Each structure stands twice: as structure tokens, then as C-alpha cells.
A and B are shown apart, each in its own frame.
Chain A
């Protein structure tokens, strides 16, 4: 019964977003501009080298295209959740007959899937225009033949799955930060730190570019699983690595969901509602 309620919340939110396609224009424009500029940055960086840290220029551009999708599609949960808490909307939401964390996840995450999908399709088109198609899935010499097609299909599936997990992980981490508003009214600083760490650890640049110690440390945190994982699967696909990245994402997702529930459980006790 509850899962049906959440499914309806997600699908309503998706339809609501899709009803106003004009709202995507700003994000689409900014995304295309970023991709264009970074394609030029990478062209400059690769002027004297054909490969850096195992990445060719085409891989680096496609990496950026995919790594930016979660930032644009799933990067703003914090603001709506935090706003609900600060303007008192939470008092209304908590009185409803549903689980607050679960319902909000369904509603916010569902809506964001539309924007993420639009950005992904745009990224694929812009990428093809700028640097040609993405590198072929690892191990397949060409698309010709059953093995090549199967590898491409498997990669597409895992990139999609990894993006979905990245979005869900993003939601629960941002929700945990937003719910610090139960204690602190000014909690944006935590989100900014989170946002910038996400940007540096795996969004703007692949983890492999970082110094070895920093890369090792980064892999112990959830940050690479917010954008690095789907981008890495896209540009350097190998089934073994892809599945291990997806498994790590799933593990971090479980931990982040548990963290969000713990923060909510303690934080909601501090809420006092006056008036009607």
C-alpha cells in the first residue's frame, strides 16, 4: 500500500516536471556551455600528450559529459528539503500518513529523473557533435558482431543503473545534511562543503588524475560514487570493474539511507509545532 503511494508520488512529480519543459532550458544551456568549455580545456591539456592517467582526450570529454549529469539532475535536493524545514512546511508533512523520509525520496527523486534524463540525452548529442561517439566498450574491437553489441548493451545498462544509484545516494546524503536544520538554522555551509568535495572528487576530473594518496583516500568516501562511477563505466568499461563500482554504490546507498533515517529520528524529536 505504502509503496503504491510512493510510486504515485514519484510519477506525479515526474509528470509535473515534464509539464514545464521550459524550466529545463537554463540547465540545458549551462550544461552545454560547460561541456563545450571543458572540451576546449581538455584539448589544451592534451596538446602535448595522447594519454594522461590512462585517459585519452575523447575519454576525458565523455567522462565529463557523464559525470556532470548527476550534478545537474540530482544536485539540488538539499535546497527544497531545507526550505521545507525552515519555513515550517515540515509540520504539515509530518502529520500526513506516510513515512517522511520515504515519501520525500519518492517525490523528489522521481521528479529529478526527468531532468537527469533530459541532460543525459543532451550530453550524448553534444558529445557526439564535439568529439564523436564515446569510446567503444572495453574488449570489443568494433561494434560489428554479437560480442560488440552485447558489450555496448551491457555498458548502457550499467551506466543507467549507476546513474540511478548515484541519484539515490545523492538524495540521502543531501537529505541528511538538510535535516541538520532540526538543530541549526544556517546549515548551508555543510552543503557547500559537500558540493565542492563532490565537484573535485570525481566530477571535474577523474579520480585517476589525483595524486595516489588522495585517490586512495577518496575511494574510501562516498564522493566517487556520486559521479565518478557512472562516468568511469562509460569511458573505460570492463564488466568486472563496472559491477564492483555499482556494488560499492549500492553499499553506500544503504549506509546513506540509514544515516538519513537516524538523523531524522533524532532531529524530529526536537521539532515543536505551535498553532494550527
Chain B
């Protein structure tokens, strides 16, 4: 199992470094594959940024008319868009198969990953990148660069907040996709969760009633990828950053546990696949 070596901290450290190298190599290979189709890459990149910019125009007009909405001014809304966009983008750039996992399980496509020495969960998730996600990843940094008061510390904090956000996104989506082991086809649940998580994350927290807040900090963890990071960023409170990493670790742990539990029910499809 990932990170549970039996021979003490030295072996654990070695495995962690090995997985870090594996993720780096997977990232580089995926990036090279993406850049083979440069026109497609550039179009998807700018297409995603254009999509995000359209909503920025909406908020500019609305808040220009009404003032703050749900306690958020224009810069707050732009910051949650930046945080969510970069986290979502990073999750799909590094773990591009995160929303394909259910289909792979359903089609018996896990065989090829189970036969390889690296952990199947990490291997399958990191074996692909999503081209349009690069646009999302860049959008957050572009918004940040355009905002007043951005300096190196804020850039570092923003990056530090985007990483647990990406892990929470990836872990939540992967958990929903892993339900395929138990349900046969979890695409409806997974699509619904994706829609919920993205939609709830991109609008001011204050517009949701108190009765809904607990959902945003549990099943649909928008609170940990958007609202709490925004508060941390606004107050430059580095002390809360480790807490977000702990929360991310908990979501990753739960998602991994669900995958391993489901894997016991997996039956090979005897499919012949080649990874090139």
C-alpha cells in the first residue's frame, strides 16, 4: 500500500520520494503528449480562460449595480474564481484521469495498472492530463497578477492554498468515481457531485442558508477549496494553511480507502491494453 512501508521511516521516505519522482515523470510525459497537438492545446487553454472571463464580466456588471452580494465584493468573487480555477486545473493537469476512473473500472481497464509496480490508484489517476485544465490553472494566476496588492507573499500563499484545494478536488471526484465498484455505474452520482462542487464553489458563501453550510464542509467540500482559503488569503493567516493540508490528507485518505475497498470487488475484463 502507498506510504505504509514496514521497515521504518527511512523506507517510508524512500517510497515518498519514489512516488514524487513518478508523479513528476508522469507529468512531463503528459505535458509532452499535450504539446504534440499545439493548436488544440492553445485553443483549449484560451477557451477555458474565455469561459472564466465571461463570468467575471457578469459579476462586474452585477456587483457594479448592487454592491456586495452575499457579503462578497468583486475582488472576493474574483479570488474564489482564481482559487477554484487553479485548484481544479491543477487537479486535472496532474490527475487527468480523475473523472475517467469510473469508466476505466467499468470497462475492466484497471488490469494494466494493477500489473505495474506503482500503486494502481496513483498510477491510473496520473496517467493522463486534461488539456483544457491548463487554461484553468493559468487563469487563477492571471487574476492574481491583475489584482491590487499582489506581492510575492500573496503569490506564495495563493499557491500554498491551491495545492490542498487540488487534492480535495481530486480526492472527492475519485471517491465518487470509485463508487462504480459498488454500483456498477456511478456516472450519474459523479457528474452530480462535479456540478455541485464547482457550482457551489464559484458563488459567494453568504448566498447559501445556514442549513446548507454543513454540506459545503463535508460531502461537497466547496468550503475547503473556496471559502476557507479565501478567508486565509484575505487575512494572510499562514497559521491555518497546515489545517487545510490536514483536511486534504483526510479527503485523500478516505478516497484511497474507498478505492482499495472497491478494488476487492473488481473483476478483470481480460482486456488487452498497451500503455504508450
Contact = CB atoms under 8 A, between A and B. Distances in A.
Given A26-B191, A43-B207, A205-B58, A37 B199 contact: yes
A8 interface: no
A196 B191 CA distance: 23
A49 interface: yes
A192 interface: yes
A53 B196 CA distance: 30
A49 B188 contact: no
A211 B61 CA distance: 8
B206 A52 contact: no
The DSSP consensus for interface residues of chain B is: helix
A19 interface: no
Given A40-B207, A48-B67, A186 B43 contact: yes
Contact of B203 (A40, A52, A199): A40
Interface in B196-229: 196, 199-200, 203-204, 206-208
The range of chain A's interface size is 20 to 34
B207 A25 contact: no
Q: Considering the complex of A and B, which 9 residue pairs feature the smallest CB-CB distances, nearest first?
A: A196-B54, A44-B70, A40-B207, A44-B207, A44-B69, A45-B66, A192-B47, A204-B58, A200-B57
Interface of B: 39-40, 43, 46-47, 50-51, 53-55, 57-58, 61-62, 64-67, 69-70, 188, 191-192, 195-196, 199-200, 203-204, 206-208
18 contacts: A26-B191, A30-B195, A33-B199, A43-B207, A44-B70, A45-B66, A46-B66, A48-B67, A52-B66, A53-B65, A192-B51, A193-B50, A196-B51, A200-B58, A204-B58, A209-B62, A209-B65, A210-B61
Interface of A: 25-26, 29-30, 33-34, 37, 40-41, 43-46, 48-49, 52-53, 186, 188-189, 192-193, 196, 199-200, 204-205, 209-211
